[in-house]
Structure 1
């Protein structure tokens, strides 16, 4: 092993121009399955919008756009944090990796709290899943994404614990990359959800 293959921390790191796909094939099959599921949800949303244009035109203006915007910022920040965690483990910075992972967990929890506040706000405004077809679609999409955020947050927390226990190293961190890829998928779906549900009429 050459000196160029040793990081500043003294740990071996991957070098060269060979592209590396994060995670493993099982993780990506799961991610593609989840994206396909959300794709069908989006399609159903658009079809319902076609059949009930009045409900879907008025619906976004009744939502708490601030809550949606705040959660967009939270999830974008979480993507940065999880990316930094992956970069840190590649350089053998175990403690820094754990910190970034916990920041991602904090972002996930923050998302859930904001979403809970949004649901309470909706209830106070008399907006439920039975209000009209728009809100039926809204709650179905939002709850499904919320569930994925909860699962992702628990997964990242477990990854942080494993990292603290030394399970991941610069040369063996496939599980961490898989968890990060899943989290990025959650963020990507939200980036599509926010304008579709909160903005477009």
Structure 2
């Protein structure tokens, strides 16, 4: 399977919005967006997103996600109600995200029973394609490729919300791969070699993809 085209791999774009790394081990998941990729593009018919009630009030900070107020969070399901859905969608899949280690750190902290097969980082791939340029953030890269309006149209949302960012990462992956020499023939193994990042201890016991 590793030598098959990357477009047939079980890739799932993921984004989490959290209470902030300043909370350290107490950081809470506030929103999750999950979008499977089909033939290299986000499959919006199978997308999933949910706000998550953290069980406490979250102070507003300059980087807080737009719209995730305490009133909204208080009406959302708790993480234990959402986690089975996350596990069903992520276990055994390759998670795609922008700076995906940030999402994986929080997800593995709060949901240690979730076991993806591998992680694919669009930021790592962007650095390979663009080098050390200013195009590093997800929003900047999507604007560079003219994809930001498409993400908004597909999601009906806005940047820094989980579904918007997950769909953005999914579209960005395809745009970056098209920049690669022979990107149209990129295999699963090739993608992992270029953009894969470590799952930590879990990577030692799980199959890749």
Same fold (TM over 0.5): no
Higher strand proportion (structure 1 or 2):
2
Larger Rg: 1
Q: Normalised by the size of structure 1, how large is the TM-score?
A: 0.25
Q: Normalised by the size of structure 2, how large is the TM-score?
A: 0.24
Which has the bigger relative contact order, CA under 8 A and spacing at least 6? 1
